[in-house]
Structure 1
Amino acid sequence: MTIAVLCPVIPEGLPLALLLVAAALWVARLLFSRQVPIVFSLAGAPILVATTYGLIRYGLSPVEAVARQEWLLGSSAALAFFVILNNLRHRWQVTVLTWVLAGIGLGVALGGLWQMLWGGAPDVRVAIYLELIFPVLAANALFSRRPYSARLALLLIGLVTAGAAYLAFDYGAWGGWIGALLVLTVYVIRRRTPRRRWILVGGVTLTAVLLGIFVVDRALRQENFWPRQELAATRLAGWRSAVDIGRQHLWTGGGPGMFRWLYPAHRRTQDQLEFAGNEYLQTFANYGIAGLVLGMWCAVTFGIEVFQILALRGQRYSSSTPSNRYALAVGGLAAFAGLLLVALWNTVSHLPGYLLTAAVIAGATLTSGVKHRGEDPDDNGPLGTYNVFEMKGLAKWAVSGTLTVVILLLGSLMVKTYPAAVFRQQGDRHRAALQWAEAEKSYRRAWAFDALHYETAAALGDLHAARAAWATDQTQELARHAVTWYDRALTRNPYAADLHIKLGRMFDLLGQRATAAAHYHRALQADPRNAAYLAQLGLHELRWGNQPGALAHFQAAYELRGPDPLPERMLQHFDQFAP
């Protein structure tokens, strides 16, 4: 639980590996206990179906390495949800979770504020991550029965996280904060202590007014405060491209993680978009209508369960009675509402820290509706509507075996994915420092771990291409090695049109004009509105003495208004520039 929450500040593979260790301990508990209660909530069914559907789409994906990363994160988040739901207890463990969230939230907030104070650009990931943390801290400060000093500390930390997220000036994160604050405000108003209720509402209103004044003042001082027309156009273009991709693969989508590779055929801007900028449209593009329906099913069932917990609690107790379970349920509901709004302007499913933390908070929230023997909870009697099965005999072995298979599958994928990524990053650092031997050694280690990943093969091709530019006495040999590795990368990811451009350059170097031209044209077939590709084809024609053809390609690239100044400079060089 703690490691999953710590995901934003530690290497990506470590929390997933430790999550598998936690799941393995759960399996051991199932096997070595006579009777073990298994908690299966209403949201469990759609999560299992969605994970199974993701596994099927992963198996059918045209690029295994691209789909693997996304399915690993999604299935790990589902596993974290079930581990937390079945093993979290409302004694000291929820207290640990709350303070771990507070500590990580404070650290992330202070880091974001430090970055902004020293003139750095605000990190959007800070804002959207803190949107998950703040509602839980605020709800515990407002509704829990923790000591006054603890609630005050949580409130102060919550205010720091709110300030850091607000100053990041991400409009999507602001929408999430508004949603979370609305949910918290509704439950504050429902409390039957009028004096405290209206003091809190007045404080929230005053804070909102002061922040609004600050925003207006900053907007008047900075001309580029509000979203620029170019940014809005890029975001809208990404949305439209996602719709086009989803319509082309209506029911099942293009595949996990495939938006980046299918986007060039539906390009509407010269920006190289990796994500749609909207989680719902990203899901539609990658998983089709089936993925959207499953996502809505998960969201609706989670909301229904939390409302059931709060409604049953409200029938039995006064709304002014402090309760740790009630605070956790309200905080989880507020974070969930904020997440739904954040997803309108951001793509968050590729962020391990956000995804795993959301799964941990969701699982912990639903534990507010289940009671285990021997607990000393806030309330007497069960809350919520849960199915708690006493597992024994064949059923216990079946559940344990299924979990073991899942752990082994995830473990086998993680063992080759994350070590390869570490060695690949190490090789990139060596290559940037022109340490050719060390870079090749690191890349080959990455290749030994994961020979299916196109990025490793492409990196080895880039390495040999860079060496060919420096070692003039070995240019031909190194260029041929680069071609070999680019071919291997292209075999593993035929959607990577950039590899055709790199192959074209190598064949130009080898003096094979026709083969080089064929690769440039294949790249343009895959991405016909890419100004950079047209400019590279122009350079190819210029290299072989075809100046009219080169100028035609430079003119076409310039008309697409790409960010690369090369077409304009080449047109000016040949006195053919006409703005």
Structure 2
Amino acid sequence: MQVDIQRMDEVLEKVCLALLCLILVFSTLAFGAVRATEFAVATGLVLLALVLWLVRLWIAPNPRLLWPPVCWLTLLFGGYALVRAHFAPVQHEAQEEVLRVGVYALFFLWALNNLYRQEASRWVTLCLSLLAVGVSLYAMVQFVTGDTMVWHLFKPATYAQRGSGTFAYPNHLAGFLTLLLPLAITFTLAGRLNYPTRIITGYAALIMLGGIAVTLSRGGWLAAFVALVLLAAALFAMRQYRIPVLVILIVIFLGGIWFYGQAQEKIKRRVAAAFDRGHDRDPRWRLWEAGIQLWQDSPWWGHGPAHFDLVYPKYRQPVNHTQLRPNFALNEYVNTLVDYGAAGVGILTLAVALGLGGGWRAWRALSHSIHQEELRGGKRAFLMGAGIGWIGLLLACVTDFHFHLPAIALTAFALLALMCGHLRFATERYWVPLSRPTLFFFSLSLLMVGGFLGVRAWRSAEHAYWQRQADRAESGAVQLAALHRAWEAQPLSHWVAHQIGEYHRRKSWRQEGDYINQARTAMEWFQRAIELNPMDSYALIRLGMCHDWLGEHDLAEPYFLRALELDPNNYYTLANMGWHYFQRRQYRRSKVWFAASIRLNWWDNPTAYAYYRAAERLWHEKP
């Protein structure tokens, strides 16, 4: 019977390994799992993995957990995020963020406790190398052909001339490949692999370099360069790897010269843009300045999970480069400071330090067990490659928000878990035996947390699905029905409330049926949107417009003024201030607001142009 249990456990361990690879491959190929529907699938796979974990614990004769100090920090940050979300001003965004944090935390703990053998590291490295090859080749095709699609969806037009692979944002591909590139190189040089497998990982490393190049990501290039320098320095210290390292550096140098010759103009434009000053400087600098100001408003606890985009408009700079919605600060550290404050950043910093420190400790232990100049067995090769890859990703986070992309976060935490799993070669002190009562309590806690996250993920996916159906609807009735289904799935979504209000407002303005009641209905939904998101200037503007439409100009003005207070340097807010005074027939005053709006957006602002000309004509005609 004991043999049967051991075989069953071995089978379950292999299933866990296959499931880990499936999660990483799916999340990467499915647009980075950035959309709620794809992330729900990844969440379901993680929950299935937790069930397998519990089965393995319950069939084991002596169940135990591998629980290094980083696990406590993981739980601490998860709890901190949950508390901060509970007190956040906007619940919808905060809860969506907590869902992802919870999934990442459970995924890390599961991978750490189920895939700590050397075979797991080898197979995960090979899987990720092949995945990176496919994504990089796709990015090269996009770069050469100018393809504007990612699978069947269009990516933003500004990235049409850059390779992004299966991600919408080229910089995310650069960060993803920077994380994996050192791992492919160390396994090629030092892993205990047969020659065909080494050829595969070596080929993967070369293709990854090409993939990073075609992203035209300046931050990605710099992060990859630093990671390669660190890797070369570490390998060069070992005598038997000096010649291979020199060969690799020469190949990279020659490849860089060839690529520069092929894409010289694009590279020059990208590099020159990084050094622009004055009005044309990179919007990143403006976002970082605004982010620091936002953090100073709430330095210890932050504004709330996923709140940067919600609170940013108050500090938007009055230039045309800041008019679009940023979503993130384009700097993971600034973004995290704004969302979680110094306390949250401190917990995360300590967690990452303990995780990478665990890998370093395992490296030291393995150094004493084998010859000092060898990376025999692949253990140290994995630790070196994964550790330097993490350093490269952390450097790339200075210019982008890589950990907000689920595919990158899941891949990074999988590698960190496998690194920490190597601690079992350094010490036995982190194994925690579980008695049956303790195992029962642990299992119950895991099922409760998993069930909570599963329900959240399902509702989030359902909400996103019906929103997409509303966007695709060809008739107003179908669109309204889909929006109400989305509202039922997620009644905390201020954006859905705004969309329902906008549907009724437009119907009222077309004077279809009882337009007064339609306007009143729209106002009710806009009021709900404001209650759910007090920082939503757009709902305030729409509510004021409905009052103006009904001739209630005095009631409308406070809403426009409040919107201006929340987003004072937005061309849309300024244009609607002008529209409000135009309705009040204060044409001279409205012209001032329309002119200010045009100064911030002169390329796509038809409302301000049209009303400015109308206000000028009516002002001259006014007796």
Q: Fold-level match, TM-score > 0.5?
A: yes
Q: Distance in 2 between matches of 1:170 and 1:455?
A: 32
Q: Distance in 1 between matches of 2:282 and 2:524?
A: 39
Match of 2:149 in 1: none
Match of 1:49 in 2: 76
Match of 1:461 in 2: 501
The residue type equivalent to 1:129 in the other structure is F
Once the two structures are overlaid, the 10-residue window that deviates more, 481-490 or 510-519, is: 510-519
Post-superposition Cα deviations, 1:363-411, rounded to whole Å, max 9, x if no partner, equal 12222332xxxxxxxxxxx335751122223332232233223212212
Tell me, yes or no, if the aligned pair for 2:230 and 2:388 is still in contact at 8 Å: yes
Match of 1:137 in 2: 184
Give the counterpart of 2:434 among 387, 391, 402. 391
Alpha carbons of structure 1 residues 575 and 442: separation in structure 2 relative to 1, 3 Å: closer
Alpha carbons of structure 1 residues 489 and 121: separation in structure 2 relative to 1, 3 Å: farther
- Within a 5 Å distance, the mapping from 1:163-242 to structure 2 comes to 163-193=210-240, 196-208=241-253, 210-211=255-256, 214-215=259-260, 218-219=263-264, 224-228=269-273, 229=276, 232-242=281-291
Query: How big is the shift at 1:160?
Result: 1.1
For 2:431, what is the secondary structure of its paired residue?
strand
Query: How big is the shift at 1:297?
Result: 0.6
Query: How big is the shift at 1:67?
Result: 0.6
Tell me, yes or no, if the aligned pair for 2:540 and 2:562 is still in contact at 8 Å: yes
The residue type equivalent to 1:353 in the other structure is A
Q: Distance in 2 between matches of 1:474 and 1:441?
A: 20
Tell me, yes or no, if the aligned pair for 2:53 and 2:110 is still in contact at 8 Å: yes
The residue type equivalent to 1:361 in the other structure is L
Query: How big is the shift at 1:91?
Result: 5.7
Gaps of 5+ in 1: 371-381
Post-superposition Cα deviations, 1:13-40, rounded to whole Å, max 9, x if no partner, equal 1101211121132223333433212001
The residue type equivalent to 1:147 in the other structure is N
Give the counterpart of 2:209 among 157, 162, 169. 162
Alpha carbons of structure 1 residues 451 and 565: separation in structure 2 relative to 1, 3 Å: closer
Match of 1:361 in 2: 415
The residue type equivalent to 1:8 in the other structure is T
Query: How big is the shift at 1:468?
Result: 4.1
- Within a 5 Å distance, the mapping from 1:334-373 to structure 2 comes to 334-370=388-424
Tell me, yes or no, if the aligned pair for 2:571 and 2:597 is still in contact at 8 Å: yes
Give the counterpart of 2:550 among 489, 493, 510. 510
Give the counterpart of 2:355 among 296, 302, 305. 302
- Within a 5 Å distance, the mapping from 1:49-448 to structure 2 comes to 49-90=76-117, 92-119=119-146, 120-122=160-162, 123-193=170-240, 196-208=241-253, 210-211=255-256, 214-215=259-260, 218-219=263-264, 224-228=269-273, 229=276, 232-269=281-318, 270-271=322-323, 272-318=325-371, 319-370=373-424, 382-383=425-426, 387-430=430-473, 434-448=474-488
Tell me, yes or no, if the aligned pair for 2:218 and 2:271 is still in contact at 8 Å: no
**Paired residue total:** 560
Q: Distance in 1 between matches of 2:395 and 2:432?
A: 35
Once the two structures are overlaid, the 10-residue window that deviates more, 398-407 or 52-61, is: 398-407
For 1:250, what is the secondary structure of its paired residue?
coil
Q: Distance in 1 between matches of 2:494 and 2:471?
A: 15
Once the two structures are overlaid, the 10-residue window that deviates more, 463-472 or 181-190, is: 463-472
Alpha carbons of structure 1 residues 204 and 492: separation in structure 2 relative to 1, 3 Å: same
For 1:346, what is the secondary structure of its paired residue?
coil
Match of 2:6 in 1: none
Q: Distance in 2 between matches of 1:185 and 1:221?
A: 28
TM normalised by structure 1 equals: 0.90
Tell me, yes or no, if the aligned pair for 1:308 and 1:385 is still in contact at 8 Å: no
Once the two structures are overlaid, the 10-residue window that deviates more, 252-261 or 509-518, is: 509-518
Alpha carbons of structure 1 residues 446 and 572: separation in structure 2 relative to 1, 3 Å: closer
The residue type equivalent to 2:412 in the other structure is A
Alpha carbons of structure 1 residues 515 and 562: separation in structure 2 relative to 1, 3 Å: farther
The residue type equivalent to 1:3 in the other structure is L
Gaps of 5+ in 2: 1-19, 31-37, 147-159, 163-169, 618-623
Q: Does 1:521 align with 2:548?
A: no
Q: Distance in 2 between matches of 1:403 and 1:308?
A: 29
Q: Distance in 2 between matches of 1:369 and 1:53?
A: 27
Once the two structures are overlaid, the 10-residue window that deviates more, 549-558 or 49-58, is: 549-558
Tell me, yes or no, if the aligned pair for 1:468 and 1:475 is still in contact at 8 Å: yes
Tell me, yes or no, if the aligned pair for 1:531 and 1:562 is still in contact at 8 Å: no
Query: How big is the shift at 1:148?
Result: 0.8
Match of 1:4 in 2: 23
For 2:271, what is the secondary structure of its paired residue?
coil
Query: How big is the shift at 1:219?
Result: 4.7
The residue type equivalent to 1:263 in the other structure is Y
The residue type equivalent to 2:212 in the other structure is A
Once the two structures are overlaid, the 10-residue window that deviates more, 418-427 or 462-471, is: 462-471
Query: How big is the shift at 1:478?
Result: 3.2
Tell me, yes or no, if the aligned pair for 1:326 and 1:368 is still in contact at 8 Å: no
Alpha carbons of structure 1 residues 384 and 309: separation in structure 2 relative to 1, 3 Å: farther
The residue type equivalent to 1:461 in the other structure is G
Query: How big is the shift at 1:474?
Result: 5.1
Q: Distance in 1 between matches of 2:267 and 2:81?
A: 45
Match of 1:483 in 2: 523
Once the two structures are overlaid, the 10-residue window that deviates more, 143-152 or 90-99, is: 90-99
Alpha carbons of structure 1 residues 446 and 524: separation in structure 2 relative to 1, 3 Å: same
Q: Distance in 1 between matches of 2:613 and 2:549?
A: 26
Q: Distance in 2 between matches of 1:161 and 1:223?
A: 22
Query: How big is the shift at 1:221?
Result: 6.8
Post-superposition Cα deviations, 1:392-447, rounded to whole Å, max 9, x if no partner, equal 233322322332232122123223222111211221121xxx32222222222211
* Identity of matched residues, %: 22
Tell me, yes or no, if the aligned pair for 1:500 and 1:520 is still in contact at 8 Å: yes
Q: Distance in 2 between matches of 1:279 and 1:557?
A: 31
Q: Distance in 1 between matches of 2:71 and 2:544?
A: 51
Q: Distance in 2 between matches of 1:321 and 1:564?
A: 58
Q: Distance in 1 between matches of 2:140 and 2:423?
A: 37
RMSD: 2.5
Q: Distance in 2 between matches of 1:26 and 1:406?
A: 14
Alpha carbons of structure 1 residues 155 and 518: separation in structure 2 relative to 1, 3 Å: same
Alpha carbons of structure 1 residues 70 and 330: separation in structure 2 relative to 1, 3 Å: same
Query: How big is the shift at 1:290?
Result: 0.6
Alpha carbons of structure 1 residues 106 and 480: separation in structure 2 relative to 1, 3 Å: farther
Post-superposition Cα deviations, 1:454-475, rounded to whole Å, max 9, x if no partner, equal 1221222233334445564454
Q: Distance in 2 between matches of 1:350 and 1:198?
A: 39
Query: How big is the shift at 1:152?
Result: 0.7
For 2:270, what is the secondary structure of its paired residue?
coil
The residue type equivalent to 2:29 in the other structure is V
Q: Distance in 2 between matches of 1:478 and 1:568?
A: 29
